[in-house]
Amino acid sequence: QVQLVESGGGLVQAGGSLRLSCAASGLTLRSYAMGWFRQAPGKERDFVAAISLSGGSTYYADSVKGRFTISRENAKNSVYLQMNSLKPEDTAVYYCAAAYTTRTYRNQKDYDYWGQGTQVTVSS
């Protein structure tokens, strides 16, 4: 059974940092592109960042470019999202997802497995 479990969310002041982790089990992580998405209250779930199988390519939403960094450790079956210079508009539930095949990395429909999400709240 495939499981993706996010952790590291919490409450932080604007300008602060958080590091999200996603621990995968039941799959071989190096065979999957990985992504982070987020859903703010009353809004649709949006793409945040993604990383290729080897980690050699990364992709970011314009809203987080330069502030967030996605990385992966295939040997640990883990993916991370380092979030710096957080803003109140970054407040959302953050989801980790795994895609066996994707060309765009940004399309949610390409992702096969999803975690339950972790709440990130940024206060002003």
Q: CA angle 115-119-123, nearest 5°?
A: 160
Count of CA atoms in the C-beta half-sphere (13 A) of 9: 19
**What is d(CA 84, CA 64) in angstroms, rounded to the nearest whole number?**
9
**What is d(CA 34, CA 79) in angstroms, rounded to the nearest whole number?**
7
Asked whether 10 and 86 are in contact (CB, 8 A), the reply is no
The predicted pLDDT at position 88 comes to: 97
For 61-110, how does the pLDDT look when each residue is reduced to its tens digit (9 = 90+)? 999 999 999 999 999 999 999 999 999 999 999 999 999 988 899 999 99
For 21-67, how does the pLDDT look when each residue is reduced to its tens digit (9 = 90+)? 999 999 999 999 999 999 999 999 999 999 999 999 999 999 999 99
Asked whether 82 and 16 are in contact (CB, 8 A), the reply is no
Distances (CA, A) of 75 to 16, 24, 29: 29, 11, 8
